[in-house]
Chains A and B, each alone.
Chain A
Amino acid sequence: EAEVAQSPRYKITEKSQAVAFWCDPISGHATLYWYRQILGQGPELLVQFQDESVVDDSQLPKDRFSAERLKGVDSTLKIQPAELGDSAMYLCASSLTGLGETQYFGPGTRLLVL
């Protein structure tokens, strides 16, 4: 069964450092999402891509976060500089077309900022 891949699974960094997370969606899925999940809460959308284009980044803290999906396949989410409050699970999801469809999630990257 096809799955969304993410790496690394865990990342520990010091505040003010840069971190990057990678996601490879299910093959053929045009829509890719990055979510942040704080312990005890549901995932919250950071950015949504349709192919290589950003369609929603309204909740992305653009002063420190950036995301790209240059070839419309895999994607990278970067944080620079990391802050203590960024400690969370970062989840990637994908869907076939994004129009009211099921989103399938990867295993996530657990980030701890010290």
Chain B
Amino acid sequence: GESVGLHLPTLSVQEGDNSIINCAYSNSASDYFIWYKQESGKGPQFIIDIRSNMDKRQGQRVTVLLNKTVKHLSLQIAATQPGDSAVYFCAENYSGNTPLVFGKGTRLSVIA
């Protein structure tokens, strides 16, 4: 399939290692954050979300960390698998009916 992004930052990890993908968000008033995974030729797939009243949230093999002081969000993937290879986007939202703003994606490449 075609590439989702051609000139994105790329993170290469060995299968089984942990991955950390970082995102700097823009609006200090944003109070809801989402990580999406996008495979080639597909739409973004919801992974995990976090609200601003939390600084950490865990899912299955994934953890999201939020540092409001420096407006930084990270996604940690434990025991990275080949199926995790994709482009990952963070998105931020301000309370109410406002647009979801996507950050620049990061391409994760898992080396078997």
Contact = CB atoms under 8 A, between A and B. Distances in A.
Given A41-B5, A108-B43, A110-B41, A48 B97 contact: yes
Contacts of B97: 31, 48, 50, 55-56, 98-99
Interface of A: 4, 6, 31, 33, 39-45, 48, 50, 55-56, 91, 93, 98-108, 110
Most buried by A among B34, B100, B103: B100
A109 to B, nearest CB: 10
Tell me if B's interface is mostly helix, strand, loop or mixed.
loop
Interface residues of B, number: 32
A39 B103 contact: no
A44 B95 contact: no
Most buried by B among A93, A99, A100, A103: A100
A58 B2 CA distance: 30
Interface stretch (B11-19, B44-52, B61-69): B44-52
